[in-house]
Every structure is written in C-alpha cells, then in structure tokens.
Amino acid sequence: MSQPAALTQESPLGDVEVTTSDVERVERALIDASTRLPVLVFYASAIAWLLVATLFGVLTSFKMHVPGFLGDVSFLTLGRVRPAHLNAIIYGWGSMAGMGTSIWLMARLCRTTLRHPLLLISGAAFWNLGVLMGIVGILLGDSTGYEWLEFPASSAITLFVAYLLIMTWALIMFRYRRRGHVYITQWYLLGAFLWFPWLYAAAQVMLFILPVEGVMQAAVNWWFANNLLFLWFGSIGLGTAYYMIPKVIGRPVHSYYLATIGFWTFALFSSWTGMQRLVDGPFPAWMITASIAATILTIVPVATVGLNHHMTMRGYFPLMRYSPTLRFTVFGAIAYSAFSVVGVIISLRSMARIVQFTEASVGYTYMGLYAFFTMVIFGSMYYIVPRLVGREWRYASLIKLHFWGSAYGIGLMVLLLLVGGFAQGLSLNDPTLPFSEITDTVMPYLRGRTLSWILLTVSHLVFAFHFGLMLLGFGRTASVPTFLNPLEREPGEGH
Amino acid sequence: MSFSDFFANLRRYNENAAVIFDHAEPIGRATDLVMPRRRWFDRRDRRKILRPLESAPQSERS
C-alpha cells in the first residue's frame, strides 16, 4: 500500500507575519477613526466659540478704558458684552474643547471603539444651541445677573439636557472598557463628568428654582464659579496633562502613587473653596475661614502634581522645542502651579482686603481658565487632530505664532491685572483719594490688557485658520513626523 | 505587612503608570516630535541638539 501524500496547508496570508505592534496600531487606528466625527464636531464648535469669545473679550477690554465706545448700541454695552464674553469662553470654548479632548482620551484609555456616536453628536448640537440661546439672551438683556450663570433659564435647560447625553455616553464607555488598570487620567475625567452636573444642578436649584435668600445667593454663586474652575476645568486639564506629557516623551509618570494622592486631595479640598472671594462680607466667619483653609490645603495636590510633572520631564525639557503638544501642555502645567500659589496668596485675609473687587480677581480667573486650562487643551488638540484626520499640521511657523501669541498675551494680561489690581486695591483702601483718581491709577493696566487681547486675537485666528486647513484636508501627508529630519525642508520654508 | 512587602506593593502600584504604553508605542519612544529646528541656529548648535535625537529611534504617528 502506497504512503498517503503529506497534507500541506498554506497560510491564507502567505508569508505575512503579524506582530503585536501591528495589531495595536490597527486597534488604535480603529479607535481614532471611531472618535473622528464627534471629536471634530466638538473641536470645530469650540474654536468657533473661541473666536466669538475673543471678539467680545477685545470689546470688553476696550470699553473698560474707552467707555463711550459703541455706548449707544444697547446689546453692546459693557453689562451685556462682558457676561457674553465670559459665558462664551466657559461654556462655548472651554467646555466643548474639554469635552472633545475627554471623548478621545476616554476612548483611547478604555481601549474600545467609540460607541453610540449619535449620543455625542446630539449632545454637541444641543450644547451649541444652548450656548447660542444663552449668548443671544444675554445680549438682548435677559441675563440672570449671576456670575458665570448669566444664561437665561431656557438656555440652562438645553445645556443640561445636552450634558446628560454626553455624560450617559461617558458612563457607557467606561462600563464597556477593556479590563485592566484605570489610568489616573480616567479618574480625573470621570470625576469631572460627575462633578459638573452636580455643580450646575445645585447652583440652578439654589439660585433659580428654589432660591436661597439674601446674601446666601452670593455664597452659592461663588461656590459654583470657583468649583467650576477647579472641579470641571481643573480636572479635565490635569487629566489631559497626565496623559500628554508621559505619552509625548515616552516616559511613564514619575510616581503613580503620588498621582493618586494628588487626585484624592484635589477632590477633597477643592470643593470647599469659593468663599475666599467674599472675605469680610456679611457671612458667618466659619464659611470664609473654611474656604481660606481649603484653598491653602490645595497646595498639597498642586505640589504633588507639580513635583510629579517636573520629575517626569526631568532631562526631557529640550523636547519642548520639537513638540507643540509638549510645549503647550508644560506651559499649562507650570501655569497651574502659579495659579494655585496666587490663589493661596489672594485668599489670605490681609491680601484679600486689598485685591478683592479689583482687577486682580479677574487676572486670577484668567490664569486658571486660559494660562492653565486653555493652553493644556491647545496642546491636546495638537496631538489629537492629526490622529483624527490622518495628516500632519501643515505649518510649524503657524504653530509657533500661535504659541508665542498665546503665551505672551496671557502672560501680559495676568501680570497687568494682578499688579494693576493690587495698585487699585491700595488706592480703594485710601479714603483720602477721590474715586476719579483711583480710576486713573488702573487705566494704564487696562490699556495694556487690550494690547494683550490683541495678541490673543491674532493667535486664535492663526489657530482657527490652521485647524480649518486640517479639517479641509490640507494638512501635510506623512506617516512619520516630517520636521525632525534635518535633510528635509518644508516647501517654501527656510527651516 | 512588613516594610519590604509595603514597598514592594508601592513598586507594583507604580507600574500602573506604564498602562498608556504598549508594543507599538513603547516606553522610551517619543510619539509627537514634529517641530522643526529654529531657523537661527547655526550648524554647530544644530548638531549639538539633534545628535541625541538622531541616535534615538525614529518615532511614528500611530
């Protein structure tokens, strides 16, 4: 009997070898592809609102030293333009850009493709509608008068509905994440997604639905405003920095244990702040003191975060020349530490008596909102957008113009407002000075602020243009970063 | 729990920081270096800055 022929089986792919790296690359590409539309919708909306907020910001700043400018146009008076600017930057730019970055980070860290994109796109549409209704309402004179809560009731309801859609998505994503350790960024983002509805709902109920009486309204108002800065923007910013810095330099966070301590102390102490903005007001002394103490205690999470980031970056700072993400994120991380230190200083009673109700308070807010949060988000956008559209940013010169315009703009603004606010406060506390003379003291600083807003306007326009190029498919096609190779030159550029 | 067990647990916990890295984007590989050299560097400075980067493995967008 003849021997049976040996059976051979060929691999259907021939001699192709699939490595673990290839599988991970494909998986990552699938995740990025699934997040493309929702994240770009959020980013495009955010940038549009950033331009609107910038326009109102320039106008507000100009009116502070030229009060008669457009004074006979009712919807452009300072009392309407300023809240329109603040709310556009908080709910239009900050919240939408933060949510866009959070969506991408959650998808990547949960290691699963984005589910239910329609929830997010509907959320974005309702959020845009809510912000539009709110801004128009403020300009038409329908502002509530509460700081950072000026949107009329119809807009607030729309925003809340939009947020519920987005939060539902976040919880579903987390529920269906791939098993494994939950990274510190996810803790911060989940915290932010749960803290925001609590803050917003509590403020809406206590100020509008079942309003508290008398001065407690001011207490609720400042509790909300301060906590929004810390627990919403601060959480998203810190979570983003904890991902971007290690990921860009290719080095894990220096001490994960320290990062955990930072998160829990941040969650514990931040929610008690807010009343330090009302020092010497008609409130129970314990409320103010508790907030001052909590603000001082926020030095603990700030120190842990700052130390962790610094030790992670040690030896890698020169890479900031080559990565826009790193450049913006590290600037924001340093600004976070400075913001917290300034916050502690101006919350002390002796200092608060001087700088309260002055431009210093405005400068402190912009430190948190722009110098820290916005710069970190810019960095995240420079990282995320190429991965969504499959192209590199086209012009490094525009990136540098954006960075230096923003850095100098916000640096100048914060410096002028803090110093000017201090000078203003000293003058206000001098009973011999007439009010007109006090106003003259602060005028140069306000004019300087307008100059800083011009710098910021240029940088925002540059960024919006560059982002538009990416959206329209005019980014650079490359599978590797092109600018590191010293032999290659960009067409038309002399680098 | 002894001190040695405690510190061993801390070291194990610290390994969670590596969760964001994998085989395709491992520890030690930068992922986003896209900025060009500054125009006003002369050739000597250019070599000083780029030498350590050129010796590192090329990074890729994933």
Predicted pLDDT at A492: 38
Domain-embedded: residue A425: yes
Domain-embedded: residue A236: no
- pLDDT tens digits for range A281-323: 899 999 999 999 999 999 999 999 999 999 999 998 888 888 8
Per the structure block, which two tokens stand in for B55?
């010796």
Dist. CA A257–CA B20, nearest whole Å: 16
Instruction: Give strand pairing partners of A476.
Output: A392
Domain-embedded: residue A3: no
Dist. CA A362–CA A451, nearest whole Å: 16
Domain-embedded: residue A22: no
pLDDT along chain A (495 residues), means of 10: 52 64 84 94 98 97 91 91 96 97 94 90 96 96 93 94 92 84 92 95 94 93 94 97 94 92 94 88 91 94 95 89 90 96 93 91 96 97 92 86 96 96 94 91 94 97 96 77 37 34
Per the structure block, which two tokens stand in for B57?
């493995």
- pLDDT tens digits for range A333-382: 999 999 999 999 999 999 999 998 899 999 999 999 999 999 999 999 99
Instruction: Give strand pairing partners of A392.
Output: A476
Q: Which SS3 state, helix, strand or coil, does residue A476 take?
A: strand
Q: List the CATH number of the domain containing A266.
A: 1.20.210.10
Domain-embedded: residue A235: no
- Which of A398, A484, A489 has the highest number of chain B CBs within 10 A, making it the mutation to test binding with B? A484
**Number of structural domains in chain A:** 1
Q: How far is A322 from chain B (nearest CA, A)?
A: 4
Is the confidence metric ipTM above 0.90 for this complex?
Answer: no
Domain-embedded: residue A304: yes
CA nearest B31 in A: which residue? A248
Dist. CA A103–CA A99, nearest whole Å: 6
Q: Which amino acid is at A302?
A: V
Domain-embedded: residue A333: yes
- Which of B11, B14, B27, B32 has the highest number of chain A CBs within 10 A, making it the mutation to test binding with A? B32
Q: What is the pTM of this model?
A: 0.88
Domain-embedded: residue A264: yes
SS (HEC) of A302-340: HHHHHHHHHHHHCCCHHHHHCCHHHHHHHHHHHHHHHHH
Dist. CA A362–CA A364, nearest whole Å: 5
